[in-house]
């Protein structure tokens, strides 16, 4: 299978597991691979030489919803007991486009706890619109997203937490460099331009588990 697993002890940042699959036997490289064997590793479509844990940048999806819920609480943007109705889609005021929930028919009335437990997209579409992309981006960066963690291993990738300034720079030669409200909506469920590494997500989850205390992930004791 293609994927990655990262586990971090939230009490001290020690990396308990860091797996990138498919992998390869490093003993073969240290003992000396033939040119043909090394070329086979390089040309393998499953990319065993690619460290997905440190360098794989993927849309985080619903994994960021607990962080956005914290943002809503911290910035007084939402009452955790207030219930939002999820009928299976969300619409921006004055627009006809429907941003669909993963659950056809919706979740009904959900408060913050239920929205996290059931991964209700509509709740977080609305929360993202309330927060706005700039406040969302700033809060996500507090948890280390969009930056390297500083782990004691080379090759770590930054990831990306987008905002209007980033888009103006990235799309400076095109006409669509304006940040659209719909891009904020889908950012609320970790889609769009947002990219994170498995290590960054594990680091963010460890920060939540440690109630805001952050430790630099370490492989070496």
Catalytic residue list = 62
Q: From CA 74, how far away is CA 41, in angstroms rounded?
A: 48
The phi and psi torsions of 147 (rounded to 5 degrees) equal -145, 160
Ramachandran class of 98: left when φ > 0, alpha when ψ lies in -120 to 50, beta otherwise:
beta
Identify the DSSP state of 64.
G
Identify the DSSP state of 88.
S
List the structure tokens of 208.
């939540």
Identify the H or E element spanning 18. Answer: strand 15-21
Q: From CA 191, how far away is CA 58, in angstroms rounded?
A: 9
Identify the DSSP state of 75.
T
Q: Where are the beta strands (DSSP E) in the chain?
A: 3-8, 15-21, 84-86, 89-90, 99-100, 108-110
Residue 156 CA, distance from chain mean position: 15
């Amino acid at each position: 299978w293609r994927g990655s697993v990262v586990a971090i002890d939230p009490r001290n940042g020690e990396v308990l597991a860091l797996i990138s699959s498919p992998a390869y036997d490093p003993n073969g490289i240290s003992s000396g691979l033939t040119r043909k064997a090394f070329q086979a590793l390089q040309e393998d479509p499953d990319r065993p030489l690619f460290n997905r844990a440190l360098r794989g940048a993927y849309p985080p999806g619903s994994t960021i919803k607990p962080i956005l819920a914290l943002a809503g609480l911290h910035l007084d943007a939402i009452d955790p007991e207030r219930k939002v109705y999820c009928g299976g889609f969300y619409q921006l005021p004055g627009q006809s486009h429907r941003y669909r929930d993963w659950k056809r028919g919706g979740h009904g009335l959900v408060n913050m706890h239920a929205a996290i437990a059931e991964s209700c997209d509509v709740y977080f579409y609305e929360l993202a619109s309330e927060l706005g992309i700039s406040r969302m981006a700033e809060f996500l960066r507090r948890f280390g997203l969009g930056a390297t963690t500083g782990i004691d291993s080379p090759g770590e990738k930054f990831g990306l937490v987008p905002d209007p300034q980033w888009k103006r720079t990235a799309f400076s030669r095109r006409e669509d460099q304006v940040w659209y409200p719909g891009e904020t909506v889908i950012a609320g469920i970790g889609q769009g331009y947002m990219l994170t590494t498995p290590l960054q997500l594990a680091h963010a989850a460890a920060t939540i588990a440690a109630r805001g205390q952050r430790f630099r992930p370490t492989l070496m004791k």
